[in-house]
Structure 1
C-alpha cells in the first residue's frame, strides 16, 4: 500500500491550506484513511474513494510547526503511513518595506499593528533597541 501526501509545506496565518491524501492498494481494495496530530481548527475527511482532504486556516496564535501522521488501512491486514510537516508563518506587516510605507494623511494619527515579524533591510536606519522596522510617509 502506498500513501501520498505533501511531505512539507508552509502555511500563512489566516490563509487556507488544503491538500489531498491518496492511497493506492496493490489489489485496488478500499483504503480507510485517518490522521493524527491535527491542529485545532483543522479538519480531515476520508472521501471514501481512497482519497482524503485536509483543510485548515491557521490563526495568528498557531504559528509554528506541526507534524501530521496519515494512516491507511485496507482492512485486510495491509497498512501504510506518511507524514506531512506544516510550518505556519506569520507574515510581516504590510509596511515592512519602504516602498509600501503607510501614508499618514492627517494629525493626530493612530495605528496599532504587530511588528513582531517585521524585517530589517541593510539600508534601514539604526533604531536603538529595535531589530524590526516599519515605514510611514507623511503627506
Structure 2
C-alpha cells in the first residue's frame, strides 16, 4: 500500500471516529497498566501476606483477603478496559468499512458508461468484495 493511500485512510478514519480512537487508546494503555500492576502486586502478595501466614501459629487471613480483593479489582479493571476497546473497535471497523463502500459506490455511479463497457463485470465486483 502506498504511503499516500495510508495517510488518506487514516485521515478519513480520524475525521469521523476521533473520540472513539482516543477512548480506545486510553483503554489500551489502561489495560496494560492494570495488568502490569496486578502482576507486580503478586510479589507483594506472596512476600507480605502469604509467607507470614505460613510462619504464623494462628494466622489472620483478613489482610490476605483484602490483598486478594485488590488484585482482583486490578484485573477486573483491565478486563473492563479490554472489553471496552474491543467493542469500540468493532463499531469503528464496521462503520469505516461501510463508509468506504458507500464512497466507492458513489464514485462508481459517477463513472462513465464506457468504463463498464471496457471493464469486465467480475473485476468491478472483485474490488468491492475482496479489496475492501
TM (norm. structure 2) is 0.29
More helix by share: 2
Larger radius of gyration: 2
More strand by share: 1
Higher relative contact order (CA 8 A, sep 6+): 2
